[in-house]
Structure 1
Amino acid sequence: MVAALIAMAFCGCKKDTTLVSEPKKLKISNKLASIPTHVFDWETADYMPTPAGSPPILVPWASGSNQLFPNEIAFDYKKADGWNLIYNTFSPTQLTSPNFFALYNKYRGLIRFYLYLPPGSPYASSYFSDGLGISGGYPSSIMNFSKEIIDPENVPQSVTKIQNYQILSTGAWYACQYELAYDPYIANTSQENLNFVWNVSSTNLSQVALNGTSSGTLTGTVGTASSGGFNLGSLLGNLGNTAILVAGFKGIQALNLPKSKVFGTDVTKSIEDGVKGGLSGAVKGFFSAILGGAATSPQVVDLKLKVETNLTGSITNNSGILSTTLAMPGSANANSVGYIPSYNKILGVFDFSVAPILFVANQKVLIYEAPGAETKYIDDYSVVYHHGLLNDFRPITNPEVTNDGTTVKVTRIDVLVPYRQKYASYGRPSEKTTIERYLDRNDPNYPMPESYGKEIVGEEIYAYGSSSNVANAKNIFFKVQHRQDYSIGTGYYNATNLDGIRIRYTILITPGNGSKPITIIKTVKPTLEFT
């Protein structure tokens, strides 16, 4: 059986594993019209570079500046932690509008825009909205990490967010942060077929509900990714695809999340415990996060949380603040018209360009509900993940990250199998869900996972099997087995949700310069192969 599955695994590798094909080499026209980005030392500066005689502008994190962004990221801008200047419209020789600059972290794959709105900005609103996407027609995977779950067969092209900050008439700094995936083919694109588009607007909302509980006001950032462009309407009333985005550990408590409607558990505590566990390599309670990486903020967090969110309000009164097209770093942009990036290398730390293959075997279990009743069968599903054999399904790493001695290592893999709980209207039947040996085989070739158990993520419960011996272990085998009192019928059986199976990766980034390590958690929707 093992040999057959291994053979199938290698056959699976023969599939087309490139969802986005490499574009042809481009012929770049000879038009030298690019404008170099003005470079300044943001670490030591007190003021932004502006022409003589213009009003001075303190840097975003300076004492005395109006900072409308999470406190946890205020002092997370050090070069030693991986930050590089990538865009900047501030200059000592000319005034520009809009006024912004952007930093990029090569170890975390984060790009953070700092936007300065001067006093008297006519954008009255209850909230601040922003979004980042791509334009030009080339189907890049750079926005692949915009969603909580990575689906390599459905790559988003943009992310739209609403932040819990108002536009101040006295002027203020705002921060917009996005996570990027590595797309090696960007090197063969140009301004003609691939650019960033950054949008900012003011937004009015009348009501906010989290996990079905009305809170009246938004206490965090809500976002959704899509295949289209910046679209605030996609956030209003969208219960299924929105996520809460948290930029700092304290931001989890600020959400004031109610208890789980299904399990009655303290959602906030579960997430906080999961973050603390993630810092030590044992992730639980969420699918996507960036943990650590800053000497000044040792628990810097970039979390995407699946929380039922319902936003209502008016989109007719929104005011557009900016919609800026930016040359893509790492592309053939030397002859682009306008500003070229200061950090002009391909972005992102890694990517999952294809879905990992998970093999699923089904056992039909004979059930007699009552004497003389019709014979019925229920399903027990076993899964196997050959993570030690299918090297093509490891994340593709950016050489711009590793060329200074930085290492990118998968330290843990979790296979997560959800099941749906069903209850009788007149009382819950007795039930027991356990993790057993693969296909009930008591054989050394089919060991139990290194660790296994149950885990709650959002309003879903998962059975998981895990391995942290990624370098040597050849597979993760286990069966999700359900046993119940069937005297009231199989209609109340806990059926496994195969479409909801996920594979979660914990990836450790150890910078070559000796700075703080980073833990990145990513969860991928696998391709299921039935055996």
Structure 2
Amino acid sequence: MGKEIIDPEERYATTDYIQIQGSPDNISPMAANKWYMMQYELAYDPDITSIPYDQVQLAWYLNYCNVQTIKLGGTQEGRINGTIGAASSTTFYDEFKTAAKSTGTAVLTGIGKNFITENARDETTDSLGRNNNIGLPNYIYSSISNTINSALSGSLDEIPQALFKGFNAIFGLNKTTQPIPINLTFKSQIELNGDLSDRGSFPSSPSSFWLPGTDIASDAVGYIPLYNKPLGVLGLDGRPKVSPMVIYQRVSDGYKLFVTYKTNTFRQRLQYNPEVEAIADIQLTKLELIETDFQGRFTQVCPNRFFAGTLDTNYNPTSSIDVPEYLAFRATFKITPNNGDEPTVIIKTFKTDQDPLPLKNAQ
């Protein structure tokens, strides 16, 4: 969680996320004898079962801070009811913890339908022409918003085929009741302003417990999870590779070069949690190659076959060879419980390794 494009080969000793929740009705959010709930995404990792239980933990630091203003996109005040995931710079977290004002680019995760609809904006109110307070490009925001709205009256099974021009989402296919549960992930500019005279932490913070799926000793001291099996639905055991194949079409003065990609390495890297497979059917329903720019922003879905340039009769390029420089896999999964409950759809985008173009004159 917390990445628009997930790199399966990234590893961290510690990963931090910030979840912002407003205080209800001006009541102090921190007090004894209260319930606190947090929701995060975890990828399936089979290595969890081999890690000694006392070497890995989940921990929550419950803090409060008087954040008076939240700005999204740097122009309008907005609301955040979700998680600030991995930031483009670690200083965003440091500033949030130590200063009254912080500004940075961060990934918002766990953002639902209400967050999208409440941050709609008339384009004329924004000097940059944006139609939202979140800082998203208009075409991405409109695609998300239109898909969510059409889902309320249309066939929900069609959502995976027409979902937004973004990277990551989790949502339910609930055909009988509303609202539809939706979690979205995207990057945005965030500005926080608060008063450091009103900040602190819960006396018993941090709260931590042993990670489910590890071999927790019967005499272990501390909080022990009620569900002690590996978490997560799926994961990748490494970065999948994209391998281009070239097709030469003979023309009078040489060749036209067409390119297609082999994508089978994604399935070879894919791992499903056997604990989930025992109670549900997991299907990879759609696999797309996504083109991005150098900043990791979505540009388009890569065609199955495309024209890349021209060559002479000796296979030397006579024009610039135009192939995508940055590619990622966007995968759509449908998880259908065996007990008859409605399915869930997970959409995730993963970073790739790319083989060079195998031109004949390059051999």
Q: Does 1:358 align with 2:242?
A: yes
Distance across 1 between alignment mates of 2:7 and 2:293: 20
**Equivalent pairs: percent with the same residue?**
25
The 8 Å contact of residues 263 and 459 in structure 1, kept in 2 or not, is answered as no
CA deviation profile, 1:479-530 (whole Å, cap 9, x unmatched): 578xxxxxxxxxxx9x98724x221001111111110011100000111211
For the structure 1 residues 188 and 204, does the alpha-carbon distance in structure 2 shift closer, same or farther, using more than 3 Å as the test?
Answer: same
**What is the aligned counterpart of 2:119 among 252, 255, 260?**
255
**What is the aligned counterpart of 1:300 among 157, 181, 185?**
181
Q: 2:313 is matched with which residue?
A: none
**What is the aligned counterpart of 1:505 among 321, 327, 331?**
331
**What is the aligned counterpart of 2:268 among 392, 411, 417?**
392
The 8 Å contact of residues 149 and 525 in structure 1, kept in 2 or not, is answered as yes
Distance across 1 between alignment mates of 2:72 and 2:236: 31
Structure 2's unaligned 5+ residue stretches are 132-137, 248-255, 310-319, 358-363
Q: Which amino acid aligns with 1:193?
A: Q
Q: 2:53 is matched with which residue?
A: 191
Q: Which amino acid aligns with 2:117?
A: Q
Q: Does 1:182 align with 2:48?
A: no
Indicate the structure with greater helix content.
2
Aligned residues: 308
Q: Which amino acid aligns with 1:290?
A: I
- Greater radius of gyration (CA): 1
**What is the aligned counterpart of 2:281 among 407, 410, 413?**
407
Q: 2:252 is matched with which residue?
A: none
**Structure-1-length-normalised TM-score:** 0.50
Distance across 1 between alignment mates of 2:308 and 2:199: 49
Q: Does 1:332 align with 2:215?
A: yes
Structure 1's unaligned 5+ residue stretches are 1-144, 364-379, 421-457, 467-475, 482-492
After TM superposition, the structure 1 = structure 2 runs for residues 196-211 of structure 1, keeping only pairs within 5 Å, are 196-211=58-73
The 8 Å contact of residues 245 and 262 in structure 2, kept in 1 or not, is answered as no
In the TM superposition, residue 308 of structure 1 has moved relative to its aligned partner by 2.5
In the TM superposition, residue 175 of structure 1 has moved relative to its aligned partner by 3.2
Q: 2:314 is matched with which residue?
A: none
Distance across 2 between alignment mates of 1:234 and 1:479: 48
Distance across 1 between alignment mates of 2:323 and 2:52: 46
Q: SS in structure 1 opposite 2:227?
A: coil
Distance across 2 between alignment mates of 1:526 and 1:386: 12
The 8 Å contact of residues 292 and 298 in structure 1, kept in 2 or not, is answered as no
Q: 1:272 is matched with which residue?
A: 145
Q: SS in structure 2 opposite 1:269?
A: helix
In the TM superposition, residue 397 of structure 1 has moved relative to its aligned partner by 0.2
**Structure-2-length-normalised TM-score:** 0.71
User: Which of 1 and 2 has higher RCO (CA within 8 Å, sep 6+)?
Assistant: 2
Distance across 1 between alignment mates of 2:47 and 2:15: 18
Q: Does 1:478 align with 2:359?
A: no
Q: SS in structure 1 opposite 2:276?
A: helix
For the structure 1 residues 249 and 206, does the alpha-carbon distance in structure 2 shift closer, same or farther, using more than 3 Å as the test?
Answer: closer
Q: 1:417 is matched with which residue?
A: 291
Distance across 2 between alignment mates of 1:174 and 1:221: 14
In the TM superposition, residue 227 of structure 1 has moved relative to its aligned partner by 12
Q: 2:354 is matched with which residue?
A: 528
Q: Which amino acid aligns with 2:166?
A: F
After TM superposition, the structure 1 = structure 2 runs for residues 85-484 of structure 1, keeping only pairs within 5 Å, are 145-156=1-12, 157-166=14-23, 168-169=27-28, 174-215=36-77, 217-225=78-86, 232-233=93-94, 237=102, 239-240=104-105, 242-256=106-120, 261=128, 265=138, 268-275=141-148, 276=151, 279-292=159-172, 296-297=177-178, 299-313=180-194, 317-321=198-202, 322-335=205-218, 336-359=220-243, 384-388=260-264, 391-393=267-269, 395-404=270-279, 406-419=280-293, 460=297, 462-465=299-302, 476-479=304-307
For the structure 1 residues 508 and 419, does the alpha-carbon distance in structure 2 shift closer, same or farther, using more than 3 Å as the test?
Answer: same
In the TM superposition, residue 348 of structure 1 has moved relative to its aligned partner by 0.5
Q: Please report the RMSD computed on the Cα atoms of aligned residues, expressed in angstroms.
A: 3.9
The 8 Å contact of residues 292 and 299 in structure 1, kept in 2 or not, is answered as yes
The 8 Å contact of residues 121 and 130 in structure 2, kept in 1 or not, is answered as no
CA deviation profile, 1:414-464 (whole Å, cap 9, x unmatched): 2111358xxxxxxxxxxxxxxxxxxxxxxxxxxxxxxxxxxxxx9955121
